[in-house]
Amino acid sequence: MAKSSFEYVKKFELDDTLLPNTWIVVRLDGKCFHKFADDHNFKKPNDLRALKLMNYAAFSVMRDFSDLLMGFGQSDEYSFVFKKHCNLYKRRAAKLLTTVTSKFSTSYVYYWNKFLADQQLLYPPSFDGRIVLYPNEDTLIDYMKWRQADVHINNLYNTTFWTLVQEGKLSPTQAEKRLCGTVSADKNEILFKEFNINYNNELEIFKRGTLLLRMNINTDVSNKCSTVIVDVHDDMLKDSFWRDHKDLFTIKP
Ligand code: DGT
Ligand code: MG
Ligand code: MG
Ligand code: MG
Ligand code: MG
């Protein structure tokens, strides 16, 4: 077929192929979820229903993209790690980022009623997304540790802050002042001594976020293996976690 004289415009599309042999991480984050959470009466500091919805939307993404090795979620964000040798969409950045982001966003809305049936969804949420490439296993592991350390820091602060406000009857400003300059041990002590709350007993999903992994399980007597996506709340800051999951990095293309 003869080319039209308009065909040249195609040349304006730039190549955005991601470097080969690198770990592709897609991180999504809810837009203005401070407001979205307030508007939808999310419990403070953690709403289990909302976190489970995030996990389910991520599960739906993992199910759709078999090239995804794992996911990690906390608060209004989710990170997805592609297998190192993934060649999906020929590693075109925009394709990968936009399909993951839109699948996650539509799943969040589609499954809303499964988790928040008694709260009407008032408007469509949106999620921003970015791609970061990590050149080796060590930096990828540090990335995962960074996100999980963030959960811990934020959750200990938020748990103490909202306990001071909700149970201690401090104003938000007073609670903020009270926590100014405190370290982890101080916050643990405030929770324990003043409110009889042992932070260690808080839900793992609140303290550590959620890691989605694929696991091979034996399903029947014929010894056939099938892969399922599981959610765990393991401590990724421990090196033993990565020793126990060495197989993550040896998965074939
Ligand atoms: P952004 O990301 O720059 O558009 O702005 P935000 O407001 O989404 O800020 P971000 O992502 O730094 O922080 C996440 C917000 O989401 C945080 O302000 C509290 C809210 N959020 C996340 N999960 C929960 C929850 O379970 N309960 C409540 N009440 N709020 C939550
Ligand atoms: Mg943000
Ligand atoms: Mg956000
Ligand atoms: Mg966030
Ligand atoms: Mg098309």
Ligand 1 pocket, residue 75 CB under 6 Å: yes
Annotation-wise, does 85 bind a ligand?
no
Q: Please tell me whether 42 is known to bind a ligand.
A: no
Q: Ligand 2 centroid vs 31 CA: distance in angstroms?
A: 7
What's the pLDDT score for residue 186? 97
Ligand 4 (ion): residues with CB under 5 Å are 29, 75-77
Q: Is ipTM beyond 0.90?
A: yes
- Convert the pLDDT of each residue in 102-111 to its tens digit: 999 999 999 9
Name the one residue in this structure whose structure tokens are 């793992």: 204
User: Please, are residues 241 and 234 in contact by the beta-carbon 8 Å criterion?
Assistant: yes
150 lines ligand 1 (CB under 6 A): no
Asked if pLDDT for residue 251 goes beyond 70, the answer is: no
Predicted pLDDT of residue 219: 73
Residue (of 135, 185, 109, 130) closest to 19 by Cα position: 135
Q: What per-residue confidence (pLDDT) applies to 224? A: 79
Closest approach atom of ligand 1 to CA 46: 26
Ligand 5: distance of its center to the CA of 231 in Å?
Answer: 33
The strands making up 210-218's β-sheet, listed across from edge to edge, are 127-134, 23-30, 77-82, 68-74, 210-218, 225-232
Is the Cβ–Cβ distance between 174 and 161 less than 8 Å?
no
The whole-model pTM stands at 0.95
